[in-house]
A and B are shown apart, each in its own frame.
Chain A
Amino acid sequence: MSYRVHVRVVPRAGLLDPQGQAVEHALSALGFQEAGSVRIGKAIELEVRARSREEAEQAARRMCEKLLANPVTEDYSLEVES
């Protein structure tokens, strides 16, 4: 079986995110005063071959810990499509 996995990686809360700040300023300049707390991260999509959904999620989690996210600066979340 192959499972589609969506990984979201965002800069850890409390760390300065200059990209998020710049985009927030741009949104404000465009009149979107209601926007705030913009954070910019990455979306990674991949197919994971596994015997079960749980196994796919465990494998994806190991990929995040080892490579896809930096534990010093980033948090990640992942979702396995059913």
Chain B
Amino acid sequence: MLRVAVVRFPGSNCDFDTLHSAQRAGTQAYFVWHRDTDLQGADFVLLPGGFSYGDYLRSGAIARFSPIMNAVQRHAEDGGPVLGICNGFQILCEAGMLPGALMRNARLTFASRPVSIRVEQTDTAFTNQYEEGAILRMPVASGDGRFVADPETLRRLEAERRIVVRYVRPDGSAANGENPNGSLHDIAGICNGGGNVVGLMPHPDRASDPALGPALGAGFFTSMLTWDHVAKGAR
């Protein structure tokens, strides 16, 4: 059975949703604490949403220096898959494991509502169960969700097809900037060059159990079962 570590930071609040989603997908998922230094033989690492360290200084800025993050970085450098959801995405950007940064939402509101996103890259550890172009609906819940990066980084993300999910209108047409938080290029989630590190602001963990509505986010977790990272490492 796949071993999946869900990292808990002080202030994580989607840790149980994420654990449940991973277990529901058929993995052996377990918690590790931010002060731990060992991932206990994890095949996959999930960084859940929440408000680690109260979002003090900047969202994710302090969590990225947690002892466990050394192990997470080594895991990713060896090609090990890491998914950051919401605050987890912010932590990955602060740690430099993904480019760019998440800034305060453009319209000064905490965006907490369902959004529509389009899957644009399926060759990743967490989206290989989706069809390219699939439109998913799941919640965002963030105050610092506006993805920004310098023009050269944006150009590379587009050229290398590393924008994994993009905000769209509910009918699937382009949002053209009318997205929940003002993200540049309507970016909802990106990956690293190898496709093993993925971060996104929307919450697949809150849309992965049919008991709670359409489980369109479940594919992020079932994709772990079908990711052959040895073969994909050469991408």
Closest to A22 in B: B108
Chain A residues whose C-beta falls within 8 Å of the C-beta of B103 in the assembled complex: 11, 15-16, 73
Q: In chain B, residues 55-98, which have Cβ atoms closer than 8 Å to a Cβ of chain A?
A: 57-58, 61-62, 65, 93-94
Asked if A73 and B101 make an inter-chain contact with CB atoms under 8 angstroms apart, the answer reads: yes
- Size class of the contact patch on chain B: 20 to 34
A contacts with B, residue count (CB < 8 A): 12
> CB within 8 A of A15: which of B58, B93, B148?
B148
Asked if A19 and B104 make an inter-chain contact with CB atoms under 8 angstroms apart, the answer reads: yes
Chain A residues whose C-beta falls within 8 Å of the C-beta of B106 in the assembled complex: 16, 18
Q: DSSP class of B's interface residues: helix, strand, loop or mixed?
A: loop
Complex Cα gap A24–B103 (Å): 19
Q: In chain B, residues 13-45, which have Cβ atoms closer than 8 Å to a Cβ of chain A?
A: none
The answer, yes or no, to whether B134 is at the interface (CB within 8 Å) is no
Report the tally of A-B residue pairs with Cβ distances under 8 A.
36
Asked if B149 and A72 make an inter-chain contact with CB atoms under 8 angstroms apart, the answer reads: yes
- Shortest distance between the CB of B121 and any CB in chain A (Å): 22
Complex Cα gap A62–B106 (Å): 30
> CB within 8 A of B148: which of A22, A67, A72?
A72
Complex Cα gap A70–B96 (Å): 10
Closest to A42 in B: B57
Q: In chain B, residues 102-139, which have Cβ atoms closer than 8 Å to a Cβ of chain A?
A: 103-108
Considering the complex of A and B, which 5 residue pairs feature the smallest CB-CB distances, nearest first?
Answer: A72-B101, A73-B101, A18-B108, A18-B106, A22-B108
Q: Identify the A interface with B (CB < 8 A).
A: 11, 15-16, 18-19, 22, 42, 67-68, 70, 72-73
